[in-house]
């Protein structure tokens, strides 16, 4: 039983990370209809920035806040300088740009900080935090921090005029212009926010996966899966999808271990987690193409 709870708890922690990255993907998707393949690498790059800041002597949380702000600026700049000129470009061109960004961030990180794996600190005190035997201090910390971030974003989008303007711009850009919303800036803000949320995910996960230029590769896949499971057009769904995928992958490995223990037959284990997660995604999408919480788009003809 204790092992089961442990698995759920660590699934929650992973899920929180997936949820953040999935949310970043969805934020850009709902306003532009594009999936930003470079989202993971941007988060990785942000994590390196925070590592650098800490290396220069800043405390974890100061570096954290500063990195989130820097990432915001980075996201806004990428939108304004790189994607703005591609406003009317065909989808494939934009995908190429995303892949290019992915490669650029990856190799820049390698060039600046080398490909050597670095340890990344955890800000959560080992003694006072966590529930003994169930969830470790860092895992609990990750869940708490991401929930705070998600909560703040929810409040921002739901209750502030600027959040409302961003939602309106995403839903109907032409009409948003007709009520005076500066839609171009809303897109840039969306990029900034997505980069910030990604940075939070990167900084939180780096202690677990260690810091290296390819650290977000697998996570981006999981996040993408989460977003699809939850419904790519629904931010809340993406967050739920993140937690579902996070817990599911651990459950699969746990079930595999239990079966092996009971019967001695190895069917499935840690190595197959990703495969199983993706199979589940495909299954969900076959049965419910819009995702669990997605809106089915019906076009009148």
If the CB atoms of residues 202 and 231 are measured against other proteins, the closer one turns out to be: 231
Task: Write the interaction track for other proteins spanning residues 277-296; mark x where CB under 8 A is met and - where it is not.
Answer: ------------------x-
Task: Give the count of alpha carbons within 13 A of 137, CB side only.
Answer: 9
Min CB(162)–other proteins separation in Å? 7
The secondary structure element, H or E, covering residue 47 is: helix 39-55
If the CB atoms of residues 189 and 219 are measured against other proteins, the closer one turns out to be: 189
If the CB atoms of residues 107 and 171 are measured against other proteins, the closer one turns out to be: 171
Task: Tell me the C-alpha to C-alpha distance, in Å, between residue 222 and each of 19, 36, 207, 226.
Answer: 9, 14, 18, 6
What's the token pair of residue 145? 């921090």
DSSP 185-246: HHHHHHHHHHHHHHHHHHHHHHHHH-B-TTTTHHHHHHHHHHHHHH-TT-HHHHHHHHHHHH
What's the token pair of residue 116? 């050597």
Min CB(23)–other proteins separation in Å? 17
Min CB(179)–other proteins separation in Å? 4
If the CB atoms of residues 66 and 164 are measured against other proteins, the closer one turns out to be: 164
State the number of binding residues for other proteins (CB under 8 A): 19
Task: Tell me the C-alpha to C-alpha distance, in Å, between residue 248 and each of 12, 33, 203, 218.
Answer: 10, 28, 23, 16
Min CB(7)–other proteins separation in Å? 37
Judge contact between 217 and 40, C-beta under 8 A.
Answer: yes
If the CB atoms of residues 20 and 30 are measured against other proteins, the closer one turns out to be: 30
Task: Write the interaction track for other proteins spanning residues 155-184; mark x where CB under 8 A is met and - where it is not.
Answer: ------xx-xx-xx--xx-xxxxxxxxxx-
Min CB(176)–other proteins separation in Å? 7
Which residues of the chain form contacts with other proteins (CB under 8 A)? 161-162, 164-165, 167-168, 171-172, 174-183, 295
């Amino acid at each position: 039983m204790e092992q089961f709870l442990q698995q759920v708890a660590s699934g929650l922690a992973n899920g929180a990370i997936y949820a953040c990255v999935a949310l970043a993907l969805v934020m850009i998707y709902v306003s532009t209809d594009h999936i930003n393949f470079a989202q993971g690498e941007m988060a990785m790059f942000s994590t390196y920035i925070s590592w650098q800041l800490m290396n220069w002597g800043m405390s974890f949380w100061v570096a954290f806040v500063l990195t989130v702000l820097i990432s915001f600026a980075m996201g806004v700049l990428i939108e304004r300088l790189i994607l703005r000129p591609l406003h009317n470009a065909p989808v494939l061109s934009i995908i190429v740009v995303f892949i290019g960004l992915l490669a650029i961030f990856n190799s820049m990180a390698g060039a600046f900080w080398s490909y050597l794996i670095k340890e990344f600190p955890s800000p959560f005190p080992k003694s006072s935090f966590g529930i003994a035997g169930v969830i470790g201090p860092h895992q609990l910390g990750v869940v708490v921090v991401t929930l705070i971030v998600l909560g703040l974003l929810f409040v921002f989008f739901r209750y502030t005029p600027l959040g409302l303007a961003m939602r309106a711009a995403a839903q109907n850009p032409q009409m948003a212009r007709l009520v005076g919303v500066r839609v171009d800036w809303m897109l840039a803000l969306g990029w900034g926010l997505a980069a910030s949320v990604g940075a939070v995910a990167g900084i939180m996960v780096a202690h677990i996966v260690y810091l290296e230029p390819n650290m977000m590769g697998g996570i981006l896949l999981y996040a993408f899966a989460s977003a699809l499971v939850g419904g790519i057009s629904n931010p809340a769904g993406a967050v739920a999808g993140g937690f579902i995928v996070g817990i599911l992958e651990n459950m699969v490995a746990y079930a595999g271990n239990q079966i092996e223990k009971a019967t001695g037959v190895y069917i499935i284990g840690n190595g197959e987690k990703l495969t199983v997660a993706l199979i589940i995604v495909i299954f969900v999408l076959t049965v419910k193409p819009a995702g669990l919480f997605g809106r089915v788009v019906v076009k009148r003809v």
